[in-house]
Amino acid sequence: MKTVPPLIFRSAFSRILALGAASVVSLAVAQPAQRLEPLPDVPPPPRMNIDPATEPSVTIIQRGREKVEEFRIRGRLYMVRVTPPGGVPYVLIDQKGDGQFAPPTSGPADAHNLSVPMWVIGTF
């Protein structure tokens, strides 16, 4: 088996490397100078007129080690979230508006019986 002397290999490798470097430099030099222009200022987002009466208000009540959060819109209580001491929080919803609170149902999703899942996936 015939081996290539290291001197010839080094010179061939250095020629290839020199040709590659020269081609990269020639490409960089051949590029016309680009004029950069500043971007126009981005306008601020439009202000949203939010009616404070439609915003939910949350009242937090601490009963011993149990925390109760009451959610109201226009003064009407529609949801309660209870966090027992050392337990998993649960939600009670007034789905019909009659003052009867129950856990969210899992029935057919039509316009009158739509319940969005409200359990905790993970906490960090």
Q: Which two tokens stand for residue 2?
A: 């015939």
Residues 109 and 60 reside in one and the same domain = yes
| 124 domain-assigned | no
Domain of 85 in residue numbering reads as: 54-114
Residues 70 and 101 reside in one and the same domain = yes
Residues 20 and 65 reside in one and the same domain = no
The DSSP line for 96-108 is: SSSS--BPPP-S-
115, 105 Cβ separation under 8 angstroms: yes
| 98 domain-assigned | yes
78, 93 Cβ separation under 8 angstroms: yes
Residues 61 and 12 reside in one and the same domain = no
Which of 23-27, 69-73, 117-121 is least confident? Answer: 23-27
Residues 70 and 110 reside in one and the same domain = yes
Residues 24 and 66 reside in one and the same domain = no
How many structural domains does the chain have? 2
Residues 12 and 61 reside in one and the same domain = no
Average pLDDT over residues 49-64: 84
Closest Cα to residue 83, out of 71, 66, 62? 66
Q: What integer pLDDT is reported at residue 94 of this predicted model?
A: 86
- Distance separating alpha carbons of residues 20 and 16, to the nearest angstrom: 6
Question: 84 or 114, which is more confident?
Answer: 84
Residues 61 and 96 reside in one and the same domain = yes
Mean pLDDT, the chain, rounded, equals 75
Tell me the pLDDT tens digit for each residue of 58-96.
Answer: 999 998 899 999 999 888 898 999 898 888 888 888 887
